[in-house]
Homo-oligomer: A and B are copies of this chain.
Amino acid sequence: MSPPSRAETFPAHTPAVSQIFTTVLSQGPLTRLELSRRTGLSPAAVTKAVRPLIEAGYLVEDVAEDAPPALGRPATLVRVDGGRALFIGIKVTGDEIIGVLTDLRCRILVVRHLPLPGRTPQQVLAATTGLVGELLTEADGMDVTVMGLGVAVSGDVDRAEGAVRYSPFLEWRDVPLAELAAMATGLPVTVDNDVRALTVAEQWFGAGVGLSDFAVVTVGAGIGCGLVVHGRVVAGAHGVAGEIGHVTVDPAGPLCHCGNRGCVEAIAGDAALVREVRAATGTEVADAAEVLELAHRGVAAAREAYARAGDAIGRGIATVANLLGPERVIISGEGLAAYDLFAEQIRAAFHAAAFGSAAECDLRTRPLPFDEWARGAAATAIQSFIGSEPVRARSTP
């Protein structure tokens, strides 16, 4: 039972309050004066924005422990009370759904997997509802309310409407998933594309904190990319963006399922690795994990496949860097388990193909447990909860 004096909603969604909270959330404990510097608000405005957040229990004060003996009044730190609210994130894949229970700081508390009986909206919705129920039961013991549910799905997703426009993988068209899930669970629901959700998580809680222009590249079964430009995740006018997987790197390369030749994904995706090793060795290879094992055992065909994959990924990243000039590119995804096998190739290809000072972009890798996809979904729920949705009038800015 939470203290009755605390309202269960977030304080007013005024710009300053949202901005202050978001800054504390992503940039760790900060003093008010430091907040003032980072946000450009006056110290007075910071005080006024912090107060309701502390009263509502979302922020707490904290004395700096390892404070070096400094002159003047010691600063009090302000940090987010992660335990103040809980969120659930769900990632839908082809054969299972993964759910996480996180706190307000998007730290994973519980992970649950559930196999999918099928891929129809009804089946996925039923499984989601079940998994959410399990996680809610877990949350019951924690005396804190679950404030939102985020769902991440691959494909063309309209986040504002909470609808899946088209998901080739699930074979869905125009499914109002947010509405359905909200009805079934009673929670506020956000639905977003999986790569974009992961990008939000990186932007707020990961390697993208404090950056206004960066990219996340995921390597795995497919090759995906989330872009942050001018501090906002790029959604694309037609729901498609960040399709680095279908950037052509070699028009004479292997055929891709999209119909073209030499897409990054057709060279560096899991299926491509398996196919290449199969063709080169003549032996049956089951999956990417086996290719990885062969490569680590020193099998030349497998190592070469990884080298080609690294080259394609590096070129793809260079294309992103040449077009957008991001400060950083975060390379992640399940395929990163094999990072030692393509690291060198990625960097070499990137530096060869990056134009001018685009090469100064910081390439950084982050291991990505599969759960992180679900965490990304939770991050979108947190974003929505604290009301920092990007909304703008329809005029020329």
Contacts and interface: CB of A to CB of B under 8 A. Distances in A.
A361 interface: yes
Interface in A215-247: 225, 227, 229-232, 234-244, 246-247
Contact of A323 (B39, B244, B353): B244
A235 B325 contact: yes
A237 B251 contact: no
B26 A356 contact: no
A375 interface: no
B203 A396 contact: yes
A241 B325 contact: yes
A14 interface: no
B240 A355 contact: yes
A19 B397 CA distance: 7
Contact of A353 (B235, B260, B324, B358): B260
Contacts of A212: 397
A280 interface: no
Contacts of A355: 240, 243, 246, 258
A393 to B, nearest CB: 3
Contacts of A323: 225, 227, 241-244, 247, 319-320, 323-324
A324 B209 contact: no
A156 B356 contact: yes
Interface string A381-397: 00000001010111111
Contacts of A393: 19, 38-41
Between A225, A230, A232, A235, the greatest number of chain B beta carbons within 10 A of the residue's beta carbon is seen for A230
A303 interface: no
Interface string A65-81: 00000000000000000
A8 interface: no
A39 B395 contact: yes
Between A250, A251, A352, the greatest number of chain B beta carbons within 10 A of the residue's beta carbon is seen for A251
A51 to B, nearest CB: 19
Given A230-B232, A249-B251, A396-B203, A357 B238 contact: yes
A129 interface: no
A243 B396 contact: no
A365 interface: no
A128 interface: no
A396 B236 CA distance: 21
A357 B325 CA distance: 25
A22 B241 contact: no
A186 to B, nearest CB: 30
14 contacts: A19-B395, A38-B395, A166-B356, A230-B232, A230-B390, A232-B397, A236-B358, A237-B325, A237-B326, A237-B361, A248-B318, A251-B315, A260-B353, A390-B397
Interface of A: 19, 22-23, 26-27, 38-41, 156, 166, 203-204, 209-210, 212-213, 225, 227, 229-232, 234-244, 246-252, 258-260, 315, 318-320, 322-327, 352-353, 355-358, 360-361, 388, 390, 392-397
Q: Which 6 A-B pairs give the minimum distances between C-beta atoms?
A: A236-B325, A40-B393, A231-B397, A237-B327, A241-B325, A246-B355
